[in-house]
Amino acid sequence: MSNKSALITGINGQDGSYLAEFLLKRGYEIHGVIRGGSTHNTENINHLLEDDKKINLYYCDITDSPSIFSIVSSIKPNEIYNLASQSHVHLSFSNAEYTANVNALGTLRILEAIRSLDLKCKFYQASTSELFGKTDGSPQNEETPFYPKSPYGISKLYAHWITKNYRESYNLFACSGILFNHESPRRGNLFVTKKIAKGLSDISKGNLDVLRLGNLNVKKDWGHAKDFVEAMWLILQQDEPEDYVIATGVQKSIREFVEECAPYFDISIEWTGEGLDEVGINKNTGKEIIKVDPKYFRPSDIDCVLGDPSKAKNKLGWCSKISFKELVEDMCINEK
């Protein structure tokens, strides 16, 4: 068991909550950042906040340098995991400046706190496959050039490069995990996987007539968040600070995600029509339950995402263990 301490920004997010569970099992003392306000949201970590657990929460918005400095200097953690982010790609088109402030400058603020306080702590940055953006369809690895296609991806590109820059300029143990999509029952409601699982559940309960989705043909490399947080930790346990692509290496379309979810809710899908006119019919009831809605198309979409996790496999000994089927099962059973 470890006697290390870790600071997790975004601890109540999907990944933050799984990472906190993972580190608690390894004996870490956990410090977590949540946003303040008249209400505070701890729904993903309430089960970890019992008396005997070593978890301490701080109110801090990563747009606020003084509070970051104050928290980092008082805790002096061994490891910092920067998971806080305006993480929704579609929303970033309408909130581009805010997205940059949180995702890009927020990362700089934390690195600057580590540097100026001369801390020896290790730093993990939550980079993303959205850095690659435009792709020729081949699997993306650490050598693939970046071409982000959203304000979210561009804000994360700054964060990625400033992390590398602080590593090279100031000799910080600062690394990025370039994570491909990962999902779970704790995924936010606006993300397509959660929207599908919840939407089909609502339809089966009679609470929703039609589930509206964007481009059904977009292909993603989807893993389970529980697997991916282990990779974050492994990246910081290496002798040398490096960046890693973390992915399953398996690609599925949004259409396939729907088809895999449907049986959990006694729905049998048949597709008919094309393009914007395509609909999904529940063969059991004859009702149109899925429609394509251009509202959910991104101004510039990435339609083919596939990661090559070879470096992570060879150097970290990491590979994704939870299959696509098991991921869908976990999400759907949670919605029953």
Give the residue numbers marked as catalytic. 128, 130, 152
Indicate the residue type of 262.
A
Q: Tell whether residue 182 is a contact of ligand NAP (CB under 6 A).
A: yes
Beta bridge partners of 183: 224
Member of 8, 48, 68, 102 binding ligand NAP (CB under 6 A)? 102
Taken in order 181, 187, 189, 195, is the CA torsion positive or negative?
positive
- What's the order of all strands across the beta sheet hosting 287-292? 211-213, 287-292, 279-282, 269-272
Site for ligand NAP in 44-73 (CB under 6 A): 61-63
Q: Tell whether residue 312 is a contact of ligand NAP (CB under 6 A).
A: no
Number of other CB atoms surrounding residue 57 within 10 Å: 17
User: Toward ligand NAP, which CB reaches closer, 151 or 280?
Assistant: 151
Q: What is the DSSP string of 64-129?
A: -HHHHHHHHHHH--SEEEE------HHHHHHSHHHHIIIIIIHHHHHHHHHHHTT---EEEEEEEG
User: Toward ligand NAP, which CB reaches closer, 198 or 203?
Assistant: 198
**Residue 202 to residues 27, 194, 336, Cα–Cα distance (Å):** 40, 12, 9
Q: Tell whether residue 32 is a contact of ligand NAP (CB under 6 A).
A: no
Member of 140, 181, 248, 251 binding ligand NAP (CB under 6 A)? 181
Site for ligand NAP in 187-246 (CB under 6 A): 188
Q: Tell whether residue 248 is a contact of ligand NAP (CB under 6 A).
A: no
Member of 5, 12, 92, 99 binding ligand NAP (CB under 6 A)? 12
Q: Tell whether residue 7 is a contact of ligand NAP (CB under 6 A).
A: no
User: Toward ligand NAP, which CB reaches closer, 67 or 165?
Assistant: 67
Site for ligand NAP in 107-166 (CB under 6 A): 126, 128
Member of 111, 179, 197, 322 binding ligand NAP (CB under 6 A)? 179
The stretch among 5-13, 247-255, 308-316, 321-329 that binds ligand NAP (CB under 6 A) is: 5-13
Q: Tell whether residue 298 is a contact of ligand NAP (CB under 6 A).
A: no
User: Toward ligand NAP, which CB reaches closer, 182 or 226?
Assistant: 182
* Contact between residue 17 and residue 186 where contact means Cβ atoms under 8 Å apart: yes
Q: Tell whether residue 184 is a contact of ligand NAP (CB under 6 A).
A: no
**Where do runs of H (alpha helix) occur along 262-323?**
310-311
Query: Which residues have a Cβ under 8 Å from the Cβ of 138 and sit 6 or more positions away?
Result: 306
User: Toward ligand NAP, which CB reaches closer, 128 or 204?
Assistant: 128
User: Toward ligand NAP, which CB reaches closer, 262 or 305?
Assistant: 305
Helix count and strand count (H, E) for the chain = 11, 15
Query: Which residues have a Cβ under 8 Å from the Cβ of 332 and sit 6 or more positions away?
Result: 197, 200, 201, 261, 264, 265
Member of 4, 21, 35, 141 binding ligand NAP (CB under 6 A)? 35
* Contact between residue 111 and residue 164 where contact means Cβ atoms under 8 Å apart: no
Query: Angle between the 192-204 and 324-335 helix axes, to the nearest 10 degrees?
Result: 50
Give the distance from CA 202 to its chain's centroid: 24
Shortest Å distance, C-beta 33 to ligand NAP: 6
Residues that bind ligand NAP (CB under 6 A): 9-10, 12-16, 33-35, 41, 61-63, 83-87, 102, 126, 128, 179, 181-182, 188
